[in-house]
Amino acid sequence: MKTQQDLWEIVPELVEVEKHLEEIIFSRAEYLPPVDSFLMERKGKKLRPALFLASARVHGNNLQNLIPLAVGMELIHTATLIHDDVVDNARMRRNMPTINYSQGNKMAILLGDYFFARAFTILTAYGRIEIIDLMTNVVEEMSLGELQQQRDTFNTSLTESDYLGKIKQKTALFIASCCLSGCLTASTTSEIEAAFYNYGLNLGMAFQIIDDVLDFYGKEKNTGKESCSDIKNGIITLPVIRTLQLSTKKEELYTCLNRGKLDEMEITLILKEIKSQGGLQYSIKTAEEYIVRALSYLNKIPSGEVVQNLKAIAQFVLARVY
């Protein structure tokens, strides 16, 4: 399995991003709950700043000035994770206790708000209205996607198309907007901008599908999260949707899910059915198709280091599942 290190090899500036994040935490330490371990030890993948910086390399942009923007994007992502963990009652992330679990829901809500605001202060300081606009839209769509997900828990009539619409809103738009923002910091053409955006959009779809697959069969050690947390929370993802389409035990599965709460035996039943119906393989295949589509947009970008890096990041996203 590819590790975090690979992404840092592709985009070495992530070391600077990490340093800036630490400074942000330390500069307000007297106000914040003891969260240093959250950001220091639990360094995330930093996929979003990596994509932003890799895209910004187009036309030989100076990346040094762009580190704060990359930090802003990672802070938006961090804020989202902190709030999502409250919403999902998650107890573990990145192999450590979540903020809500260790510090309580109140602290987690306020800390998420602080990180959102800090992120936008940083983006605003850069002064490019288009980038601020992209990012406020991202947060809007992510929260609408999450609201919809909450409304749709244990909803067995969810279709594949509903699911794809939701993950676009929840994940892919953010990733697309990081790529586009990177490209916007250089002067380029609207055709190239569209290529970056569509690369990111398709990559983001693949990334979320793989995340949803890993929720079922990823080992906690590797994902850093509890297993099967989606289905426990009633969040119906692609492997389940596919299984409900094909399974001969459809009625039994519907009955479990429609009760709105699952016990251990029911989860075991669902996992068995997903396995026998090939729900995970189907999802991985779908993710691979999105990766192929993402890569096809790279043909429109002048080849060179940037394209090589974006190809490598796409491989990194896919490699998480193997």
Q: How far is the CB of 144 from its own copies (least distance, A)?
A: 5
118 part of the interface to its own copies, by CB under 8 A: yes
Tell the smallest beta-carbon distance from residue 124 to its own copies (Å). 5
Q: Which of 147, 246, 292, 319 binds its own copies (CB under 8 A)?
A: 147
Q: Which of 8, 38, 116, 290 binds its own copies (CB under 8 A)?
A: 116
The window from 15-23, 122-130, 246-254, 301-309 that contacts its own copies (CB under 8 A) reads 122-130
| Among the listed residues 107, 178, 201, 314, the single contact to its own copies using CB under 8 A | 107
Task: Report d(CA 73, CA 120) in Å as an integer.
Answer: 9
* Backbone angles phi and psi of 90, in degrees to 5: -70, 145
User: 207 is written with which tokens?
Assistant: 């990334």
Beta carbon of residue 202, minimum distance to its own copies (angstroms, whole number):
24
Question: 237, 230 in Cβ contact below 8 A?
Answer: yes
Options 113, 160, 220, 263; binder of its own copies; rule CB under 8 A: 113
∠ CA 2-163-307, rounded to 5°: 40
Looking at beta carbons only, is 119 or 195 nearer to its own copies? 119
* 86 contacts 109 by C-beta, under 8 angstroms: yes
143: contact with its own copies by CB under 8 A: yes
Q: Does 117 bind its own copies (CB under 8 A)?
A: yes
Output the smallest distance, CB 73 to its own copies, in A: 14
The maximal CA–CA distance of the chain, rounded, in angstroms, is 58
CA angle 100, 104, 109 (to 5 degrees): 65
* Residue 12, Cβ density class (10 Å: 0-12 exposed, 13-18 middle, ≥19 buried): exposed
Give the gyration radius of the chain's Cα atoms: 20
Residues 6 or more apart whose Cβ sits within 8 Å of residue 65: none
Structure tokens at 28: 């307000």
Q: Residue from 9, 36, 133, 220 that binds its own copies (CB under 8 A)? A: 133
Which residue's CB is nearer to its own copies, number 90 or number 213?
Answer: 90
Tell me whether residue 101 or residue 120 sits nearer to its own copies (CB atom): 120
Q: Is 23 in the site for its own copies (CB under 8 A)?
A: no
The verdict on 191 binding its own copies (CB under 8 A) reads no
Residue 191: CB atoms within 10 A of its CB come to: 9
SS percent in the chain: helix, strand, coil, step 5: 75, 0, 25
Q: Which of 1, 5, 31, 187 binds its own copies (CB under 8 A)?
A: 31
Question: Where on the chain is the footprint of its own copies (CB under 8 A)?
Answer: 28, 31-33, 83, 86-87, 105-107, 109-114, 116-118, 120-121, 124-125, 127, 129, 132-133, 136-137, 139-140, 142-144, 146-148, 150-151
